[in-house]
């Protein structure tokens, strides 16, 4: 690395350092669970003739993971499942009452119903004690993986009233096809219950150095950490990825042409698109507008890093922040597009600020109380901002916080377990992805937006700066 490139990298790193829950469940889930808690769902193994064992295993594990990770359900333990599992609605058989004894005694208990096959109460009563049952069967049909899947509310007294939905799904007959079908079924379950689309099928983009040579490239993986693969191969430094709202474009900062500039790739073709970088020692930290037609970013074209807006190809450039301080990391409000959150050192230590999209009405978001606040990330509903803050810790030791924009209410999600930074919201608004060195080297983790269900997704190399995309 030459001295000029090294100097710019140090400047960028310095800028990054210096300036760098859950909503109530929908009504239908409350009615099913009978309380303001999570609905309990049973998901027995799906089986079918001629389906290779590994393909079936991938389907069942993916479906379970999608529902468990959704943050909506309590998963009924498989050790408590009844021995008879329905594969289609016709398998449900109501128990019949035996004829009364010819000479009943007063102290004789009523006779037990005679089982005819699987029944709703097998799943709704202890020990399974589930509210919902996802069941069905898999098959290979015309060289395609096929699923017949149903969702029933087993607390209902009759099969007809228990029905929520049933559907047929098809994809390729390999493991990838089975995984996609599981994602589709899990998504439909959440949608039918009014819980939104969930995170099944979503993707996480991040920076990794695992290619070696001192380089960093942009990688992608499924929401659960599977299918990790590089997207860029510039043999350079690629940083601060950002995904367009529709999941078709990836913007990031790259040193591939010397000074850090903004690159844009199509995620459909993985080809680089045209973006004009103004002459500056640094163009970095891009962010897409909600309609995907504009980009906000930080640039030193004026001498110090300030916030600029441009069209998706870099044209129609205009500066919107005007401060004597370094200002970086702009983020559009994804709901309205009318506000931008950004990081500024105008009051001393870096803090999160808000301004209108034209640069007016600048106001500080993070409260006083010490510490550096960086990495703002809007929730999909535009009502909360997650960020990394060193309040209460030595400089550089960040934790993840969420702040309600309207009220200023703060919630701390991580508590001193290493350095936790770069939060990004999942499309469902119930999950966050972030980078942490709590396990040693910096890796990518996910959690619910209340700090529960921590999961480590990466293990190889150093992985950082994650962002969650819709696909």
Q: Which domains does the chain have, with CATH numbers?
A: 3-20+198-469 (2.120.10.30), 27-99+114-192 (3.40.50.10070)
Show pLDDT as tens, one digit a residue, over the chain (471 residues): 554 444 444 344 444 433 332 233 345 665 665 544 689 999 999 998 889 999 999 999 999 999 999 989 999 999 999 999 999 999 999 999 888 777 777 777 777 888 889 999 999 999 999 999 999 999 999 999 999 999 999 999 999 999 999 999 999 999 999 999 999 999 999 999 988 888 988 999 999 999 888 999 999 999 999 899 999 999 999 999 999 999 999 999 999 999 999 999 999 998 999 999 999 999 999 999 999 999 999 999 989 999 999 999 999 999 999 999 999 999 999 999 999 999 999 989 999 999 999 999 999 999 887 789 999 999 999 999 999 999 866 666 899 999 999 999 999 999 978 899 999 999 999 999 999 999 889 999 999 999 999 999 999 999 999 999 998
Structure tokens at 28: 């239908």
* Rounded-to-integer distance, Cα 172 and Cα 147, Å: 11
- CA distances from residue 273 to 81, 236, 312, 314 in whole angstroms, order as listed: 53, 18, 10, 11
* Rounded-to-integer distance, Cα 407 and Cα 401, Å: 15
Q: Are 78 and 63 in contact (CB under 8 A)?
A: no
* Rounded-to-integer distance, Cα 115 and Cα 94, Å: 7
Q: Are 337 and 356 in contact (CB under 8 A)?
A: no
Which pLDDT belongs to residue 22?
28
Distance of CA 316 to the CA centre of its chain: 33
Query: What is the greatest pairwise CA distance in the chain?
Result: 102
* Residue 461 burial by Cβ neighbours in a 10 Å radius (0-12, 13-18, 19+): middle
Give the pairing of strands 373-378 and 363-364: unpaired
pTM for this predicted structure:
0.86
Structure tokens at 227: 């299918």
Strand partners, 343: 328, 352
Which pLDDT belongs to residue 111?
76
Which pLDDT belongs to residue 365?
96
* Rounded-to-integer distance, Cα 12 and Cα 6, Å: 10
* Rounded-to-integer distance, Cα 243 and Cα 310, Å: 16
* Rounded-to-integer distance, Cα 129 and Cα 316, Å: 60
Instruction: Give the closest residue to 383 by CA, choosing from 398, 361, 364, 404.
Output: 404
Q: Enumerate residues 6+ apart whose C-beta is below 8 A from 63.
A: 43, 46, 134, 182, 185, 186
* Rounded-to-integer distance, Cα 213 and Cα 35, Å: 55
Q: Are 25 and 131 in contact (CB under 8 A)?
A: no
Which pLDDT belongs to residue 38?
82
């Amino acid at each position: 690395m030459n001295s000029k490139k090294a100097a710019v990298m140090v400047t960028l790193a310095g800028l990054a350092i210096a300036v760098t829950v859950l909503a109530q469940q929908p009504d239908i889930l409350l009615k099913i669970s009978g309380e303001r808690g999570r609905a309990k769902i049973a998901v027995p193994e799906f089986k079918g003739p001629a389906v290779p064992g590994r393909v079936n295993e991938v389907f069942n594990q993916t479906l379970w993971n999608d529902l468990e990770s959704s943050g909506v359900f309590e998963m009924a333990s498989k050790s408590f499942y009844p021995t008879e599992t329905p594969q289609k609605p016709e398998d449900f058989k109501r128990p019949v009452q035996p004829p009364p004894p010819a000479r009943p005694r007063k102290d004789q208990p009523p006779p037990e119903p005679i089982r005819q096959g699987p029944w709703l109460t097998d799943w709704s009563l202890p020990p399974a004690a589930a509210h919902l049952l996802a069941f069905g069967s898999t098959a290979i049909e015309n060289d395609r993986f096929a699923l017949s899947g149903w969702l029933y509310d087993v607390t209902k007294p009759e099969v007809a009233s228990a029905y929520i939905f049933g559907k047929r799904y098809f994809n390729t007959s390999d493991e990838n096809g089975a995984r996609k079908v599981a994602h589709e079924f899990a998504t439909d379950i959440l949608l039918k219950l009014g819980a939104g689309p969930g995170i099944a099928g979503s993707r996480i983009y991040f920076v990794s150095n695992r290619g070696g040579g001192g380089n960093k490239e942009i990688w992608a993986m499924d929401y659960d950490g599977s299918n990790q693969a590089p997207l860029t191969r510039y043999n350079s430094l690629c940083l601060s990825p950002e995904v367009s709202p529709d999941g078709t474009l990836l913007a990031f900062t790259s040193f591939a042409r010397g000074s850090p500039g903004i690159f844009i790739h199509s995620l459909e073709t993985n080809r680089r698109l045209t973006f004009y970088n103004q002459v500056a020692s640094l163009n970095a930290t891009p962010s897409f507008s909600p309609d995907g037609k504009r980009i906000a970013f930080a640039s030193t074209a004026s001498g110090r890093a300030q916030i600029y807006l441009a069209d998706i190809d870099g044209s129609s450039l205009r500066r919107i922040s005007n401060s004597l301080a370094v200002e970086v990391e702009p983020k559009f409000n994804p709901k309205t597009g009318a506000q931008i959150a950004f990081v500024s050192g105008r009051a001393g230590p870096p803090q999160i600020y808000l301004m209108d999209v034209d640069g007016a009405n600048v106001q500080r978001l993070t409260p006083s109380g010490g510490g550096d606040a960086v990495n703002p990330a809007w929730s999909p509903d535009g009502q909360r901002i997650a960020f990394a803050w060193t309040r209460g810790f030595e400089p550089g030791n960040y934790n993840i916080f969420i702040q309600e924009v309207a009220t200023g209410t703060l919630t701390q999600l991580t508590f001193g377990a290493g350095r936790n930074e770069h939060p990004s919201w999942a499309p469902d608004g119930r999950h966050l992805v972030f980078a942490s060195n709590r396990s040693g080297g910096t890796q990518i983790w996910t959690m619910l937006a209340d700090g529960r269900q921590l999961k480590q997704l990466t293990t190889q190399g150093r992985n950082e700066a994650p962002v969650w995309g819709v696909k």
